[in-house]
Amino acid sequence: MILNIYKPPTWTSFNVVKKIKIITKEKKVGHGGTLDPFAEGVLMIGTNIDTKKLSNISRCNKTYIATIKLGIHTNSFDCDGKIIKTNEVPILNEVIIKSVLQSFIGPYKHLPPMYSAKKKNGVRLYNYARNNIIVERDPIKTQIEEISFISFDKDKIKFSVKCSSGTYIRSLAVDISKKLKTIGHLVELIRTDVGEFSINDSLSLKKFEEKWKFTKT
């Protein structure tokens, strides 16, 4: 069984897997493509033999709606992290922001955040970060297929991006801020698509539980 579940903010991807396991009583449940706790949106879930399909699904392009807050940098590149630097936000407008966003279309080489599951010498980067150890990281090469301006309000930029698997939107937020001659971090992230799976067809945990109970009666 492959499920398109809407992960709510504050929940970890593992929390969602655990909840699905409780609802369905299936022995084997997994997810494809982790979403950070503060993020929300499409989380693909597989049960039993269909968990084997998740690796292919997670390799699909993904689309997000992201919001950057300028002028503040955090150690995790997102709103869950500790503020480590503040800076002035330059005078910006829609034309400048659109130009910077468009410059990211194509191959995208970026560093993974220290607070990530990437490994260095067999150790997860977040384990180094939790011990206040910063290690040299190898750049990741991904692809930005599409990126579009949505809105700008004082110190917040909202945009949509379609990218290849493995792209850290937190790193993209930091890199966009740098190109705008300031600093920034991600404060909102909504995954709207994973391959052919859309947020429009995504089920909340509550809806899924109701549907599951109905089909079993």
At 210, is the secondary structure helix, strand, or coil?
helix
Concerning whether 36 is annotated as a catalytic residue, the answer is yes
DSSP symbols for 124-170: EHHHHHHTT-----PPEEEEEEEEEEEEEETTEEEEEEEE-TT--HH
Show Cβ contacts of residue 189 under 8 Å, excluding neighbours closer than 6 positions: 35, 36, 38, 39, 40, 41, 64, 65, 66, 67, 78, 169
CB 48 within 8 A of CB 27: yes
Among the listed residues 36, 78, 175, 193, the single catalytic one is 36
Active site residues: 36
